[in-house]
Amino acid sequence: FYGIMIDAGSTGSRIHVYHFKSLDAENDAMELQSEVFQSIKPGLSSYADDPRAGAESLMPLLDIAMSTVPENKRAITPINLKATAGLRLLPQEKAQALLTEVESLIKSYPFLFDPEDAVEIMEGLNEGKFAWVTVNYLLNTIGQPSHRQCVVLDLGGGSTQI
């Protein structure tokens, strides 16, 4: 199983192409086999006045996804782009124009695209929640009474979450 996440931050965009191995189909348990990571600069918000160029700036990242995910897995590989503070700080119409162009570009690739939430601006509160879950999951502190969970401080280019 593969999954693609694009983090469109204020200072740059980053792609994570994850490859998971199923451990228990009954419980949907998976183990991370590998991750391909790449980043580009500047961030999407730098293209506020040229949304098409903003979308096209993501093409090198999408090309990495194409070269990483086997052809026979692409149609079942979900892809998501979550924008953060850089787009939250733009006027609504400029942010929406960027998202519309990005959505159009991503739809042109053969990955599994959910039009409901595949491309969106993430609320700062959710940024903090996802960071907390990620760190505590990786440290195996979730649901373990003998462990103390970690506090997470995310110092982004355009926002901070605790």
Q: Which domains does the chain have, with CATH numbers?
A: 2-122 (3.30.420.40), 123-162 (no CATH)
Instruction: Cite the active site residues.
Output: 127
- The pLDDT-based confidence of 101 (bands split at 50, 70, 90) is very high
Segment 77-105 mean pLDDT = 94
Q: Give the number of other Cβ atoms within 10 Å of residue 67's Cβ.
A: 9
Q: How far apart are CA 147 and CA 128, in angstroms?
A: 21
* Residues 6 or more apart whose Cβ sits within 8 Å of residue 20: 1, 2, 3, 30, 31, 32, 33
In a 13 Å sphere around the CA of 17, the CA atoms on its Cβ side amount to 18
pLDDT value, residue 97: 97
What is the residue type of 98?
L
What is the reported pTM?
A: 0.84
Residue ranges for the known binding site are 157-161
Written as six digits, the tokens of 56 are 């096209």
- The pLDDT-based confidence of 137 (bands split at 50, 70, 90) is confident
- Write the pLDDT tens digit of every residue in 6-65: 999 888 999 999 999 988 767 777 888 999 999 999 999 999 999 999 999 999 999 999
Pick from 132, 153, 157: nearest CA to 44: 157
Written as six digits, the tokens of 114 are 């959910």
* Residues 6 or more apart whose Cβ sits within 8 Å of residue 71: none
pLDDT value, residue 63: 98
Say yes or no to pLDDT of 89 above 70. yes
* Residues 6 or more apart whose Cβ sits within 8 Å of residue 113: 78, 79, 106, 107
pLDDT value, residue 19: 96
Residue ranges for the known binding site for ATP are 157-161
Least confident of 42-46, 103-107, 128-132: 128-132
